[in-house]
Amino acid sequence: MYDPNGMVYFNGIYHLFFQYYPAASVWGPMHWGHAISEDLVHWKQLPIAIYPDKLGYIFSGSVVVDSANTSGFGIGGKPPLVAIFTQHDTAGEHAHTDTFQNQSIAYSNDGGMTWVKYNGNPVLKNPGISDFRDPKVMWYGAGNKWIMTLAVKDHITFYSSRDLKNWKEESEFGKDIGAHGGVWECPDLFAFDDNGKQVWALLVSVNPGGPNGGTATQYFIGEFNGTTFTPFNNNTKWIDYGPDDYAGVTYSNTGERRIFIGWMSNWSYGQLVPTETWRSAMTLPRNLNLMRIGNEFYITSNPVVELNYIAGKQTTINKITVNPPVDLSQQIKNFRLPAKIDFDVAQAKSFSVVFSNENKEMLTIGYDETAKHYYINRKESGETSFEKSFAGEHTAPPISGATNIHLTIIADVSSVELFADDGLSVMTEIFFPSKPYDQVQLQSLENIEISGLTYTPFKNIWK
């Protein structure tokens, strides 16, 4: 599994399509795999939704609900779903043409379960730029048109359409702004409401060029007027500072709510991770919100509230003084992962949370007061030898300037997601211990006081 694709909410179902090669656990001819959920937590995998054809592999893209049937694909007065995706033609690639990535569409009249490719594909032809992909389409009501946000090598090009079939170029963005360590991929454009005013967010994944090496997703906040996107300033911001959240975009058709999912891996080692029979997973679904800090807007990411559906019995510890270290796994009856650990530290002093097992493998998550950053260290987390950059320590800056710290850590057997500073600083990391971590310690060299600690185990989602 690679990038999430075509995320759409329709008739009570969250669809999650994804880059998928069914014949091997390494990248190959891409299909759109398919999974569905009614609650963002319990998922069911369905048959492959879209297969490659003579126009090429099925690369990343999006799905929209065509409520007004602008495409004419609908039947019986019911709105069709329309998928817009890149087709990657390997013959053209090998012949060194520059035109091997083109945009195609497909439609569904059974709520996303089966798809028919449009016979006029491709609908947006490549003008001669080798990287020309990952269309994210949304309805721009104020202009009564569809807007496609497309990653084009080192920038974004916006296109518009009345019918999803004929596309016209509107503008370009980003050649001289943002992180450019590698090619731009998988963009997303959407609006937040800021007291009745629209504030626009543009997500752009970059491969490589992330804040901690390898791939990551940056974002810009600004204005979009139906033609051009104008950022409020030139600051580069990151949706997730950890190494393992890439190509993430948001659901369409969820109203005011913005739900984000990313691919929980990194192109530096995504094909090398030591798993068997399966490879890769998605991040937890996250709610995105807009937050203003001084004169700056930021996006906050927090795990969706639906996780409560699988919450087990909580343990709460009101006050812990951490010096000497505190063995939380002793204080919590039946400690195990997956689980969520939340707590507050009154002052931003150095401390760490250490997950470990009897083989002395460990993962350390903490805050460093001198360096003023959060960090996750997976140097000794277990198997790390499959790629040289994997065994590292990664950092994220606090953003709000708050003097206290509130952390939410959601740890599974092979991944951790850290939400700090109200979701302004987020880090996702994967790891491969030889045995599951069954111990967790709180450590600090200072006399820090932790309050309101809750431990919430999660139930298995598979019946």
Using CB under 6 A as the criterion, which residues of the chain lie in contact with ligand FRU when the complex forms?
A: 2-3, 19, 30, 59-60, 86, 133-134, 185-186, 247
Cα 125 from Cα 255, distance rounded (Å)? 31
Judged by beta carbon, residue 134 or residue 417, the one nearer ligand FRU is 134
> Minimum Å distance from CB 185 to ligand FRU?
4
- Residue 88 CB, nearest distance to ligand FRU (Å)? 7
Count of C-beta atoms within a 10 Å radius of residue 120: 10
Tell the smallest beta-carbon distance from residue 58 to ligand FRU (Å). Answer: 9
Which C-beta is closer to ligand FRU: that of 60 or that of 364? 60
DSSP 331: H
**Both tokens assigned to 159:** 């296109």
What is the smallest separation between the CB atom of 301 and ligand FRU, expressed in angstroms? 19
Is 3 catalytic? The answer is yes
Distance (Å, rounded) from C-alpha 33 to C-alpha 279? 14
Closest listed residue to residue 202, CA positions, set 216, 180, 215, 219: 219
**Closest separation in Å from C-beta 26 to ligand FRU:** 12
In this structure, are strands 393-396 and 216-224 parallel, antiparallel, or unpaired? unpaired
Q: Which residues of 357-383 are buried (b: 16+ CB within 10 A; e: fewer)?
A: beeebbbbbbbbeeeebbbbbbeebbe
* Burial category of 23 from C-beta neighbours within 10 Å (exposed 0-12, middle 13-18, buried 19 and up): exposed
Strand residue runs (E) in 141-285: 145-152, 155-161, 168-173, 183-194, 197-207, 216-224, 229-231, 237-238, 246-250, 259-263
CB-nearer residue toward ligand FRU: 247 or 453: 247
Nearest CA among 226, 116, 231 for reference residue 161: 226
Complex with ligand FRU: residue 56 or 382, whichever CB lies closer: 56
- Determine which helix (DSSP H) or strand (DSSP E) holds 422, and give its type and residue range: none
**CB nearer to ligand FRU: pick between 134 and 422:** 134
Q: How far apart are CA 38 and CA 401, in angstroms?
A: 38
CB of 263 to ligand FRU, least distance (A): 7
- Active-site entry in 3, 66, 240, 245: 3
Residues known to be catalytic: 3
